Amino acid sequence: MSNVRIATVSRAPLQTRWVHLTDRLRNHRSATVRGWPLFIGQSTGPLGHLRFRSYHSAMTAFAPDAPTDTPADGRGPTALSLPHPVKPKLRGWLHLGMFPAVLVAGLVLTALADSTRGRVACGIFALTACLLFGVSALYHRGDWSPRMDGVLRRLDHANIFLIIAGTYTPLTMLLLPGAKGQWLLWGIWAAAAAGIIFRVFWVGAPRWLYTPCYIAMGWAAVFYLPDFMRTGGIAVLVLVIVGGVLYSAGGVIYGIKRPNPSPRWFGFHEVFHSFTLAAFIAHYVGISLVAYQHG
């Protein structure tokens, strides 16, 4: 009887430690969804010296002999697990519904451009838009393995840089002829390439780091707005600015995760997607005017 009592007492600190460390892992900012690496490349914080390849290895490293069976007293299982975040039921539906519309609209825009230069520029814009909405819908609507989830997440984030560069392409090629347009075009695509590499190789980067990169790149042409108005007109200028403001507002919502009206159905991410839809529509109309007038 004394042996049993000693075993019970010695087990309690282990369970207490297990609960404490599980809570620490749940709240750790570097944890990612669906079992991707928890602490890759991080060295800050109380657990920063650890390098775990998966949720399971992190758990077993702290409590390799933690109980996993239901105790004999029938009080329920003692093993703890981290619950997956609940994905809102409408996650991805906005972009899924938008994809076929973007595909058709992009084909129409490209076909109606008058020149080869205009068709190439509008075709690039349409292609990047299709990639953005198509991959986003695929990523957010599917139930993927951890490996595939990571691949699609990287593509989803990289496509944000692509749509920014793709939107700039017809504006610079058709409204900014000469060296000025070429410098802006090359600079934007170089920034997009750097951003894609950044997101592909550091998909776990904190939001406060990569979200401002999207916004800053989107407003890189702010000094060219007078040229856009001079060659494209006031309507084009207004549509370009409105689209930029909507994209930026969506980026802020994504970064701070607010507002979050209904985490079960329509959360902050869906609000962010709504802003991207509205921003794309504004830019599409503006680029259509440019293509019909100058393409």
CA angle (191, 195, 197) in 5-degree steps = 120
3-state class of 203 per DSSP?
coil
DSSP string, 134-171: HHHHHHHHS---HHHHHHHHHHHHHHHHHHHHHHHHHH
**273 marked among binding-site residues:** yes
- Separation of alpha carbons 122 and 242, rounded Å: 20
**157 marked among binding-site residues:** no
Choose among 290, 265, 288: nearest CA to 106.
Answer: 288
**140 marked among binding-site residues:** yes
266 bridge partner residues: 262
Residue 40: is it exposed, middle or buried by C-beta count within 10 angstroms (0-12/13-18/19+)? Answer: middle
- Residue 135 phi, psi dihedral angles, 5° rounding: -65, -40
3-state class of 131 per DSSP?
helix
> Which one-letter DSSP state was computed for residue 223?
G
**Which amino acids are annotated as binding site, given as ranges?**
140, 269, 273
**Which amino acids are annotated as binding site for Zn(2+), given as ranges?**
140, 269, 273
